Amino acid sequence: MTYTLLHGGTVVDVSGQTLTDILIKDGEITAVGNFSHLSEGDIQRIDCTGMLLLPGGVDVHTHLDSPLMGTTTADDFESGTIAAAMGGTTTIVDFAMQTPGSTLLDSLQVHREKAKHKAAIDYGMHMCITDLYDGAIDELPVLRQEGVSSLKIFMAYRGTLMLNDGQMYDVLKGASKAGSQVCVHAENGDVIDRIAEELVAQGKTGPGYHELARPPKTEIEAVERAIRIADMAEAPLYFVHLTTEGSVEAVARARSVGMPVSAETCTHYLTLDRAIYDEPGFEPAKAVLTPPLRTFEHREALWRGLNSGALSVVSSDHCPFCFEDKQRLVGADFRSIPNGGPGVEHRMSVVYGKGVAERKITIEKFVEITSTFPAQQFGLYPQKGHLGVGADADVVVLDPQGVTQISAGSQFQNIDYTLYEGWSLPGEIKKVFSRGKLVAADGQFVGQVGNGKYLQRAGY
């Protein structure tokens, strides 16, 4: 049996839907068309009647096995990539953290070791720069040769992760020269630290105050400043996890005058409300992630931003810490709760169920923002991000008539909660193929740990 034939489904790409077959050989799509004439002996036929065939999800924002705020994220490359595969994501680009006192290249090697023999799907890496030591900029072309063509910097978390504006300018210039792009976490960290101090001084120490310490303007100001600095450095810029209407407007303005600025938002900012911060006890800690969840008006602006093209990517920002660990590490006030939440497993299902099924976006837009654009933005296209000839056979078979139930008890993510607990969503992922191999089928993981390949990404 040399061929696999996905037969009878509707193939979706950014420009439309076609009732057609997909022929797979040696992990790649070899042809798209009508293959009913092929003889049975050569092929494994998979009936996809009534199903949507979508390009495998590309999640460009995950933090697996990552040291952060005195602890480590709860999913390693094994559990994290299995969870991704179960949710229809067949490629991730994970953030390698620069560890204090280490060079960028050494930190990258440490993170690549963590992924080796563990990943169940293909993966690339970004590099986070948290300490701009002498010589760091000289390593950017080497990172680029290693397939790491994107760098992340933080405008928040002074003293641990943050770079100042001058350093940001240096990284932007260096990256641009190396053919790489810079991803920025845009929040005004210094103002946030002051507001947090004021809140704590007033005895407002509970986890829900995390939200008040990070008002929308702290994001919008940082977005506007980063755009101006990138303009001065003549460098491309990508915003991770935007959450506010003002940020979407700032990005749209920059793009309208031809600046190379792109931006993502995340599943939870599109679908979850800030009301969780008003809940009693320690419950709000589940949503202690940055930036915080926002109001309905901001969510609507994010959907509009996706439809207008101001936002081009939806990622998960999967940065899981168990609720139990958040409780253990809380200390005197909300500032010491590890910042992050889970999501790699449910990104595709939630965006489909809340976006496509509720007619906020079309199915073509869904493919664009969950797969095609992230692959293009991060040097993975045309190998990833579409179902054309020559692409890796990463395919999601989705039943639009099916239903997805979400609960912590049944998820594959190695964490004791989900922000979508009890949700029942239209659309069900029936099968997932990674380079032609079945990795998820009817809710079971059937892939192989260690089969995921490191992706050498192209430059910007």
Which residues of the chain form contacts with Zn ion (CB under 5 A)? 317
Nearer to Zn ion, 187 or 317 (CB): 317
CB of 312 or CB of 316, closer to Zn ion: 316
Q: Which is nearer to Zn ion, 251 or 367 (CB)?
A: 251
For residue 275, give every residue at least 6 positions away whose Cβ sits within 8 Å of its Cβ, in sequence order, or none: none
- Give the residue with the Cβ less far from Zn ion, 139 or 264: 264
CB of 312 to Zn ion, least distance (A): 17
The nearest distance, CB 405 to Zn ion, in angstroms, is: 27
At its nearest, how many Å lie between Zn ion and the CB of residue 46? Answer: 36
The phi and psi torsions of 453 (rounded to 5 degrees) equal -105, 145
Report in angstroms how near the CB of residue 204 gets to Zn ion at its nearest: 26
How near is the Cβ of 17 to Zn ion at its closest, in Å?
A: 33
Closest separation in Å from C-beta 330 to Zn ion: 21
- Minimum CB distance to Zn ion, residue 350 (Å): 17
Q: Which is nearer to Zn ion, 317 or 368 (CB)?
A: 317
- Helix 245-256 and helix 216-233, axial crossing angle in degrees, nearest 10: 20
Residue from 219, 260, 243, 227 nearest 298 by CA: 243
> Measured from the CB atom, is 93 or 168 closer to Zn ion?
93
Of 317 and 392, CB closest to Zn ion: 317
Structure tokens at 387: 């179902």
Question: Residue 48 or residue 272: which is nearer to Zn ion going by CB?
Answer: 272
Nearest residue (CB) to Zn ion, 317 versus 416? 317
The residue whose Cβ lies closest to Zn ion is 317
For residue 441, with 0-12 CB atoms within 10 Å meaning exposed, 13-18 middle and 19 or more buried, which class applies? middle
Q: Which is nearer to Zn ion, 68 or 254 (CB)?
A: 68
CB of 185 to Zn ion, least distance (A): 7
Phi/psi-derived region of residue 445, left when phi > 0, alpha when psi is between -120 and 50, beta in every other case? beta
CB of 317 to Zn ion, least distance (A): 4
CB of 242 to Zn ion, least distance (A): 12
